[in-house]
Amino acid sequence: MTHETILANARLVLPQTVAHGHLVLRDGRIAEIGTGAAPAGALDMQGDYLAPGLIELHTDNLERHISPRPKVDWPHQAAIVAHDAELASCGITTVFDAIRVGSIHSLPRSGARKYARAMADEILEMRKRGALRISHHLHLRAEICSETLVEELDEFAPEDRIGIVSLMDHTPGQRQFTNMTQFRAYQRAGSPMDDAEFDRYVQDLKDLRGRFGPAHEAAAVAAAGRLGAALASHDDTTEGHVKTSAGYGIRLAEFPTTEVAARACRDHAIQVIMGAPNLVRGGSHSGNVSAERLADQGLLDVLSSDYVPAALLLGAVMLGERWGDMARGIATVTANPARATGLDDRGRIAEGLRADLLRFAVGDHVPVPRGVWVQGTRVA
């Protein structure tokens, strides 16, 4: 039986422009894009924007629901449901849930216990039985500075449909934590320690990187190929980092920390993803390059909500207003992330694509979601 919905009197955010018109949704797909008078029986969007559903590539939000307080392990299925509902309410219709692979057992303060395979199983099982509102994919964050990365990666297979594998190197003294004052503040906020303990902890992490770093990088690159996943770098800081990334075949750079690295990414045809909270706050909480700076230099391709789901739409609208081109701003959270991960069935309003859509209004520069559809069915 055919199921049809018509959304009319909307500002359609098309790939290159915004145009007044209507959409016909049929059997989960966009069947028609129209202008002029809407067909009978249409739902009035009251002149609001109607955009593709947002695509989130890197979010830590699930971890916040799993562990809402230190040492609290919330029931996982309940946490996944809450995470899913929160993203849907923010207009996110596709998410790559970031799960850490690579644990450290010899350093109790690291808090890096093994959990990836079990968490993936729970997400995949809930997806299989239709318990989730939006489309969930998996993003494996491969921690280079760890002890168990290889064996944890080996627990995943192509049938898990891993979407992204990212190379994460949080060794202090480089990349995100080049500034040791920032790292000290970050570490002490989660695990208070005196100066001597802190110095020992830093040295222990550096020793881990020295023992396992090259082998772990090679294993993560190989795993991405074996799993059919897009390979991403993380916190590239220098031209050398980017050159290495390009040599691995990386085409997506998460959160480069300097303008030099972002420019090198452009030279190597690597898309740059920046955190929407960085843009909204006007700067990086770690003291790295600002998303505003990269946006103004034409070096920002994709936004990620990172740790604030509501920041994704807000950041895209801010970019649209900053650039004077709302279609371009919205593309940073729709078409561009879809392209970076090979999702050619979504991310644009075009006939034949999935009817994943977001209705929103903008008041005083702040977007307000007013309706979300996944494959033509309203979910928020």
**What string of pLDDT tens digits covers the 380 residues of the chain?**
678 999 999 999 999 999 999 999 999 999 999 987 788 889 999 999 999 999 999 998 999 999 998 789 999 999 999 999 999 999 999 999 999 998 876 665 545 678 899 999 999 999 999 999 999 999 999 998 888 899 999 999 999 989 999 998 866 655 566 555 665 555 555 566 666 766 676 677 777 776 777 899 999 999 999 999 999 999 999 999 999 999 999 999 999 999 999 999 999 999 999 999 999 999 887 778 999 999 999 999 999 999 999 999 999 999 999 999 999 999 999 999 999 999 999 999 999 999 999 999 999 999 999 999 999 999 99
Q: 0.85 exceeded by the pTM?
A: yes
- Token pair, residue 1, equals 């039986």
Question: Residue 299: which of 324, 270, 263 has the closest Cα?
Answer: 263
Residue 200 resides in a domain: yes
Q: Are 377 and 199 in contact (CB under 8 A)?
A: no
Question: Residue 62: which of 264, 327, 307 has the closest Cα?
Answer: 307
Residue 250 resides in a domain: yes
Q: Are 364 and 39 in contact (CB under 8 A)?
A: no
Residue 314 resides in a domain: yes
CA–CA separation, 65 and 82 (whole Å): 7
Residue 27 resides in a domain: no
Residue 60 belongs to domain with CATH number: 3.20.20.140
CA–CA separation, 297 and 261 (whole Å): 13
* Cα distance from N-terminal residue to C-terminal residue, the chain: 24
Residue 251 resides in a domain: yes
Residue 9 resides in a domain: no
CA–CA separation, 100 and 118 (whole Å): 12
CA–CA separation, 47 and 27 (whole Å): 25
User: Domain range for residue 284?
Assistant: 53-343
- The residue to which tokens 């020992």 are assigned: 200
Residue 157 resides in a domain: yes
**How many domains are there within the chain?**
1
Residue 362 resides in a domain: no
